Every structure is written in C-alpha cells, then in structure tokens.
C-alpha cells in the first residue's frame, strides 16, 4: 500500500470517528437508533447503560490520535472491537445497502490503518508463548 492510500484512509477514518464521537455530545445528536426492533433495542440498551457515552469518548480520542498521526497503531488496535460492533450492527442488526457500505468501509479503513504494522502484529497471533 502506498503512502497516499494510507494517508487518505487515516484522514477519512480519523475524521469520521472524531465527528461521530463529538456529535453525540452535542444537542444535534443524530445517532441512528436503527429501524429494526433488535437494532433499536441494542442501541438504546447501550445508551441507557452509559456504555455508549464511553464508546463515543473513545471515538473522539481515537479519531484525534489518528488525525494527528500520533499513536496510530494503539488507536487502530483500540478501535478493532468498536469496528466489530459497528460491522455487526450494520450487517446483522440493521441490514441494508447503506448499512452494508458503512460496515464494509469501517472494517476496510481499520484494516488499512493496521496493514503497515502487520509484521509487528504477527506476535499477537502466537497461540502459545514459550
């Protein structure tokens, strides 16, 4: 992957996460709750439990770090569980064309941010340490 592709992915992903996190704490909160009963229930459960505010705070920190190009590896790794939940919501709980696109973009952009560090990350795949 070339530097331009990585930089574009970093700016889109970082900006997306920063904006998504910030907007939750504004009066203009446009967080979709979902149109299917399960998606709606899932999202409201996270909001009412307080977990959603923590997730949005993490999105702000992760987005800012990625945008300023500092701590990208730990930020992208911290984002991996969020990416899984976002993809699950988009593919399983709230399926649709737009949702599939957002799910694919989230996974792809997170993977692109981790790709340059793949040699450093292979140690995480060791099943059993010596």
User: How many residues are recorded in the chain?
Assistant: 130
For 93, which DSSP code?
A: I
Sequence-distant (6+) residues with CB within 8 A of 128 are: none
Sequence-distant (6+) residues with CB within 8 A of 77 are: 114
For 25, which DSSP code?
A: T
Average the pLDDT over 81-100 and give the result. Answer: 94
- pLDDT above 70 covers a percentage of the chain that reads 98
CA angle 82-91-48, nearest 5°?
50
Q: Coil, helix or strand for 6?
A: helix
Query: For 26-81, how does the pLDDT look when each residue is reduced to its tens digit (9 = 90+)?
Result: 988 777 788 899 999 999 999 999 999 999 999 999 999 999 999 999 999 999 99
For 43, which DSSP code?
A: H
> What pLDDT is attached to residue 110?
96
Q: Is the pLDDT of residue 130 over 70?
A: no
Q: Coil, helix or strand for 105?
A: helix
- Domain ranges for the chain: 3-28+38-118
Q: Is the pLDDT of residue 129 over 80?
A: no
Write down the pTM of the prediction. Answer: 0.88
100 or 129: whose pLDDT is higher? 100
The mean pLDDT of the chain is 92
């Amino acid at each position: 992957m070339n530097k331009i592709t990585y930089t574009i992915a970093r700016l889109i992903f970082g900006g997306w996460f920063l904006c998504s996190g910030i907007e939750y704490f504004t009066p203009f909160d446009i967080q979709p709750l979902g149109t299917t009963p399960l998606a709606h229930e899932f999202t409201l459960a996270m909001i009412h439990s307080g977990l959603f505010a923590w997730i949005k705070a993490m999105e702000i920190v992760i987005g800012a770090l990625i945008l300023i190009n500092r701590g990208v590896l730990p930020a992208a790794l911290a984002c991996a569980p969020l990416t899984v939940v976002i993809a699950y919501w988009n593919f399983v709980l709230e399926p649709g064309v737009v949702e599939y696109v957002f799910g694919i973009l989230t996974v792809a952009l997170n993977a692109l941010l981790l790709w340059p560090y793949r040699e450093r990350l292979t140690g995480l795949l060791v099943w059993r340490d010596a």
